[in-house]
Chains A and B, each alone.
Chain A
Amino acid sequence: DGGITQSPKYLFRKEGQNVTLSCEQNLNHDAMYWYRQDPGQGLRLIYYSQIVNDFQKGDIAEGYSVSREKKESFPLTVTSAQKNPTAFYLCASSEDYGVGAETQYFGPGTRLLVL
């Protein structure tokens, strides 16, 4: 089956700890994205990557880091600098990041909770 997988489904973070959320896609998409969703809110863009070995900050990148070493993988690290990390994190991918945003395909999400 083609799609996007995220793991884990739930993640607990202790104060001062860095945690990494996994996102893998087998759709052969060039572009990948990380969003944060708070209750009753829309999605806010954290980081995006248009191509392997390249990524850009989104609207709320502070306290987060990413890497894009492989086309199919785009892990997100929530660092200890992110003071309010409790949220639902969604990863997405799209075929191309050209002029005009294309359809994005989403993973099932990871819910991050702070202990």
Chain B
Amino acid sequence: SQQGEEDPQALSIQEGENATMNCSYKTSINNLQWYRQNSGRGLVHLILIRSNEREKHSGRLRVTLDTSKKSSSLLITASRAADTASYFCATDSTGANSKLTFGKGITLSVRP
């Protein structure tokens, strides 16, 4: 089964609004990452948050991690039309041979 599952599946907002995307996972992790994918392109890494961190910021991005609830959220503030893309959370899992498992992604549309 998928380790990370994003919610909602799709999100449409007006430019300037904030966008909040959520990710839930099932097993203990070392870290959780968020990636962005423009249509037909490769993924671009946005931010990595480790299991001992609760919040991390990068520019207009804020990521939180709640290991007790096995969930994370990605907040994009003051969204722009250029933020339109698919966003994926990816988790590893504690233990040997850790690898990234990606969710199905959230499609974000920012209307000008």
Contact = CB atoms under 8 A, between A and B. Distances in A.
A64 to B, nearest CB: 16
B43 A48 contact: no
B99 A103 contact: no
Contact of B43 (A40, A58, A90): A90
Interface residues of A, number: 28
B92 A100 contact: yes
Given A42-B88, A43-B88, A99-B30, A104 B40 contact: no
A76 B105 CA distance: 25
Contacts of A48: 99
A109 B42 contact: yes
Interface residues of B, number: 25
B6 to A, nearest CB: 9
Interface in B21-56: 30-31, 33, 35, 40-45, 48, 50
Interface in B51-66: none
A101 interface: yes
A106 B31 contact: no
B104 interface: yes
Interface string A1-41: 00010100000000000000000000000000001000011
B42 A100 contact: no
Contacts of A40: 104
B12 interface: no
Nearest to B95: A99
Given A42-B103, A108-B42, A109-B41, 9 more contacts: A41-B105, A44-B102, A90-B42, A92-B43, A99-B30, A100-B50, A101-B98, A101-B100, A106-B42
5 contacts: A45-B101, A90-B43, A100-B92, A100-B98, A101-B90
In the A-B complex, the 4 residue pairs with the smallest Cβ-Cβ separation, listed nearest first, are A100-B30, A106-B42, A101-B92, A42-B102
